[in-house]
Structure 1
Amino acid sequence: MAGVREKADERLCATVARQVERADAALRRELSGLLVVPSGARTSELERLRQLGEIPDLPDGGGVNAEGV
C-alpha cells in the first residue's frame, strides 16, 4: 500500500509543480510551501488540508486537462 501512496504523492507533486511553473513568483512560493513536510510531521500542509476536507480529492489524472489547466 505504501508504494501506491508514494506513486500518488509523486503524481500530485508533479502536477502541482507543472502548474507552479506557470504561476507568478509569489504564488509559486506559497504553493511550494504546501508541499513541504515540516520536521517531525508526517504529512505536508497540502495533505493536512485535504484530510480536513478543505480541498477536494483529485480524480485520476490529477484533474488537469491536456493543456495543463
Structure 2
Amino acid sequence: MLNIVLYEPEIPPNTGNIIRLCANTGFRLHIIEPMGFAWDDKRLRRAGLDYHEFTAVTRHHDFRAFLEAENPQRLF
C-alpha cells in the first residue's frame, strides 16, 4: 500500500483533492503539521467532496514524529 505524505500543506483545496485521491485509490494520507489552514476549513471540505470518511488520514505534529510513528523503509 502506498502512503502519501503532505509536509506542512498550505492550500486547502489541494489537500482536499489529495484526500479524494486517497479515498479512491486506498492510499493512506499523512499530514505533517503545522498546516496553513484549519482542519475544518470549508475549502478543504468542498474540494474533498466528503471523502474524508473514506480516507485513512493521520496527522503528525512534525516530521520527526512522522518518522518515529511510521518508520518508513523508503521515502521519496
TM-score (norm 1): 0.29
State which structure, 1 or 2, has the greater radius of gyration over its C-alpha atoms.
1
The structure with the greater share of residues assigned to helix is: 1
The structure with the greater share of residues assigned to strand is: 2
TM-score (norm 2): 0.27
Larger RCO, structures 1/2 (Cα 8 Å, 6+ apart): 2
